[in-house]
Amino acid sequence: MAVGTGTSGISTQFQRYFSKELLDYIVESLQLVQFAQKAPLPAKSGSKTIRWFRFDEPSTGSIETLSTEGTKPSGERALSLENVDADLVQYGQVISITDILQLTELFSHVEQAVKVTGQDAALHADQIVRNELGGNVTGKQTRMANGLADYAAVGAASAADAVVEFNDFLDCTTQLRKNNTPMIGGNYVGVVSPEVASDLMKTSGWQNAASYSAVESLYKGEIGRLWGIRFLQTTVPFLSDGSTQHTYDSTGTVHSSFVFGQNAYGVSDVASQSPYGPSVYVTDGASKDDPLNQKTVVGYKSFYAAKTLQPKYYVEMYSKTNFS
Q: What is the pLDDT of residues 162-182, one digit of tens each?
A: 999 889 999 999 999 999 999
pLDDT at 134: 98
As a whole number, the mean pLDDT across the chain is 87
Q: Which is more confidently placed, 73 or 8?
A: 73
pLDDT at 213: 83
Q: What is the pLDDT of residues 53-68, one digit of tens each?
A: 887 777 777 888 888 8
pLDDT at 82: 85
pLDDT at 72: 84
SS3 state at 68: coil
Least confident span in 66-80, 169-183, 224-238, 239-253:
66-80
> Is 290 within 8 Å of 248 (Cβ atoms)?
no
Quote the CA–CA distance of 20 and 22 in Å, as a whole number: 5
Q: What is the assigned CATH class of domain 140-265+310-319?
A: alpha beta
Q: Which is more confidently placed, 125 or 270?
A: 125
pLDDT at 5: 33
* H helix intervals, 30-98: none
When pLDDT is averaged across residues 253-263 and rounded to a whole number, the result is 97
Output the CA–CA distances (angstroms, integers) from residue 26 to 71, 200, 218, in the order listed: 57, 28, 18
When pLDDT is averaged across residues 289-307 and rounded to a whole number, the result is 86
* Amino acid found at 118: G
Band (pLDDT 50/70/90 cuts) for residue 9 is low
Number of Cβ within 10 Å of residue 267's Cβ equals: 26
Q: Which is more confidently placed, 60 or 151?
A: 151
DSSP state of 236: S
Q: Is a pLDDT exceeding 70 seen at residue 105?
A: no
When pLDDT is averaged across residues 230-244 and rounded to a whole number, the result is 96
Band (pLDDT 50/70/90 cuts) for residue 16 is confident
When pLDDT is averaged across residues 31-36 and rounded to a whole number, the result is 93
pLDDT at 4: 34
Least confident span in 93-102, 134-143, 185-194, 234-243:
93-102
When pLDDT is averaged across residues 276-298 and rounded to a whole number, the result is 80
pLDDT at 10: 57
Domain 12-56+80-131+267-305 adopts which CATH fold?
A: Major capsid protein gp5 fold (3.30.2400)
Residue spans per domain, the chain:
12-56+80-131+267-305, 140-265+310-319
> Is 129 within 8 Å of 306 (Cβ atoms)?
yes
pLDDT at 194: 96
Q: Is a pLDDT exceeding 70 seen at residue 130?
A: yes
pLDDT at 1: 32
Phi, psi of 143 (to 5 degrees): -135, 155
Quote the CA–CA distance of 207 and 205 in Å, as a whole number: 6
Q: Which is more confidently placed, 22 or 91?
A: 91
When pLDDT is averaged across residues 142-159 and rounded to a whole number, the result is 97
